[in-house]
Structures are given as structure tokens and as C-alpha cells.
Amino acid sequence: MLDVPPAATHHPGLDALLLHHEVDKFNAAYAAALDEQRLADWVEMFTEDAFYVVISRENADKGMPVGLIYCDSKAMIHDRAFALEKTAMFAPRYLRHIIGNLQVLGEEERGAIRARANYVVIQVLYDRPDAKLHQVGVYHDVFRRVDGVLKLAERRCIYDNLLVDNALCLPV
């Protein structure tokens, strides 16, 4: 694993801005991969040892790690995605992510970049006119560069709500 950050500008504000933009672009690409049901691309956005969980705000506030989805490696994330591809991805629904309010909280030792962002996932059932707020919450993230490219080493998706008419645990 190489850690190749982009060229520095030697202006602290600009370097912070470039990093913010890099994470912002990552999140837009992440949302597009899920919205377009390109799950193989989605899996590739995680590091080999990535931690990915989807957990309720109530449980997160209580420090209870029990979640809807729990993966502690890219292999588990991959299995999850492929299981979905055989089921949910062909179910008649569209999803659309809006990721906003990005905060890059800092670059830590060993190149880990902590960030957070709010997310809204809107679900539309085929041939139905009404869109619904499927899931609303916050991402708590740790990014790392792998060969110069940002990857998610950790994404904890903490949702305020979960629409119960969706029996499937879709990734967000």
C-alpha cells in the first residue's frame, strides 16, 4: 500500500480545501454507485480491512454495536453485495442518495482521515408516484489512501429512522 497524497499547494487553506473536495468527490461517486446498482464498484470503495456497519441512532447513542448490517472486512462487504444482487437489486425499487453537510474532521496519524456527512436515501417503488424517505442519518467515516486513491477504512451509517416496509437490508 502506497500513501500518495495529491500535490500540496503550501497554502494551508487550499490544502484543506483540496482534501475536502477529494472526500466530497468520493461521496458523490459512492452515491452514484449505489443509485445505479453498481455493487461491484461499491465494494471496491472499501479497504481490505474495512469496517462497515448500519446501526440505529438509539443503539449508537447507547454504545450498543448491534446493527442492521455488520461487516468487518471487504470480503464480508463483498458477500453482502452479492447476496443482495441475487435478491434486492432486482426488486422493483429505485434508491437515490443525497449526501450533504460534509465535515472533514482532520487527518490523523498514519494518514487516516476522519469525516462525517449527513445522508438521505429516497426510495421509489416502480410505477408508484410517491417517493419516500427510506433512511435518514449520518456517516461517521475514516478514509485511507490506497495507491493514492481514497478508500473507506470505516463507515458507520447511523440512521435516525428505517422505513419498515423495506424488508431488505440495503447498503446505504
| Separation between Cα atoms, residue 104 and residue 17, nearest integer Å | 10
Task: Give min distance, CB of 7 to its own copies, in A.
Answer: 6
DSSP-assigned states of every residue in 32-90: HHHHTT-HHHHHTTEEEEEEEEEEEHHHHHTT----SEEESSHHHHHHHHHHHHTTGGG
Task: Give min distance, CB of 100 to its own copies, in A.
Answer: 5
Task: Give min distance, CB of 102 to its own copies, in A.
Answer: 6
Q: Which of residues 124-163 bind its own copies (CB under 8 A)?
A: 124, 126, 128-133, 135-138, 160-163
Question: Is residue 98 near its own copies by the rule CB under 8 A?
Answer: yes
Q: Which of residues 37-66 bind its own copies (CB under 8 A)?
A: 57-58
Nearer to its own copies, 92 or 110 (CB): 92
Nearer to its own copies, 68 or 76 (CB): 68
**Residue 48's closest CA among 73, 26, 76, 70?**
73
DSSP-derived secondary structure letter, 6: P
Q: Amino acid letter at 170? A: L
Say if CB 147 and CB 1 are below 8 A apart: yes
Question: Is residue 99 near its own copies by the rule CB under 8 A?
Answer: yes
Bridge partners of 139? 117, 157
Q: In which residue are the cell numbers 442518495 written?
A: 97
Task: Give min distance, CB of 72 to its own copies, in A.
Answer: 26
The C-alpha cell of 64 is what? 450498543
Question: Is residue 2 near its own copies by the rule CB under 8 A?
Answer: no
Instruction: Summarize as ranges the residues that interact with its own copies (CB under 8 A).
Output: 6-7, 9, 11-14, 17-18, 20-21, 25, 27-29, 31-32, 35, 57-58, 94, 96-103, 116, 118, 120, 122, 124, 126, 128-133, 135-138, 160-165
